[in-house]
């Protein structure tokens, strides 16, 4: 499986974002066991170190529960928390882009037009 590596951040952090996005989308449900480290490593074509670092980080942050000898599980109630976190982050990016665009004469609608085209909402 290919995934988008976030520009400017380490591989393990990009891997964390990918797992968070999958939790938000319901691919991994609260209480569900994640695939094994080996399966994830092969699926994402990442080193064992990268996957382990990402999983340990998510456990430390309260996104996953590590059960020694059994694997990693999605923490109950984390889906909405992750959604809110990413929504807020994206809204800040869009706001900052609109402010910068306005300074050089680009209207917010023009900045958002690629997204509107992609979602089919351009003429809505």
The string of pLDDT tens digits covering residues 49-105 is 999 999 999 999 999 999 999 999 999 999 999 999 999 998 998 889 889 988 999
Q: Is the dihedral of CA 60, 67, 12, 5 positive or negative?
A: negative
By the 8 A CB rule, do 58 and 52 touch?
no
Asked if residue 95 and residue 44 are part of one domain, the reply reads no
Specify the CATH number for the domain of residue 69: 1.10.10.10
CA distance 16 to 44: 12
Tally of helices (H runs) and strands (E runs) in the chain:
5, 2
Examine the domain organization and report whether 31 and 51 are in the same domain: yes
- What angle do the packed helices 11-25 and 48-60 form, to 10 degrees? 60
Domain contains 110: yes
Q: Give the residue from 36, 38, 56, 34 showing the smallest Cα distance to 47.
A: 38
Per the structure, the complete domain to which residue 45 belongs is given by 11-76
| Residue 66 phi, psi (nearest 5) | -95, 125
Task: Indicate the SS3 state at residue 41.
Answer: helix
pLDDT at 40 over 90: yes
Do 60 and 111 lie in one domain? The reply is: no
Q: Residue 113's pLDDT band (boundaries 50, 70, 90)?
A: confident
Asked whether residue 5 is domain-assigned, the answer is no
**Mean pLDDT (the chain, rounded):** 88
CA 3 to mean position of chain CA atoms: 11
Domain total in the chain: 2
Residues 22-32: tens digit of each pLDDT: 999 999 999 99
Residue 124 lies in a domain: no
pLDDT band per the 50, 70, 90 thresholds, residue 118: confident
Question: Is the domain of 19 the same as that of 65?
Answer: yes
pLDDT of residue 5: 58
């Amino acid at each position: 499986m290919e995934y988008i590596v976030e520009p400017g951040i380490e591989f393990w952090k990009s891997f964390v974002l990918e797992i968070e996005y999958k939790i938000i989308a319901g691919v991994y449900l609260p209480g569900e066991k994640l695939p094994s480290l080996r399966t994830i490593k092969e699926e994402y074509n990442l080193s064992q170190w990268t996957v382990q670092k990402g999983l340990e980080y998510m456990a430390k942050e309260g996104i996953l529960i590590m059960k020694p000898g059994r694997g990693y599980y999605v923490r109950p109630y984390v889906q909405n928390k992750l959604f809110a976190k990413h929504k807020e982050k994206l809204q800040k990016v869009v706001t900052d882009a609109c402010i910068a665009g306005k300074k050089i004469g680009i209207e917010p609608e023009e900045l958002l037009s690629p997204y509107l085209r992609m979602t089919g909402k351009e003429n809505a």
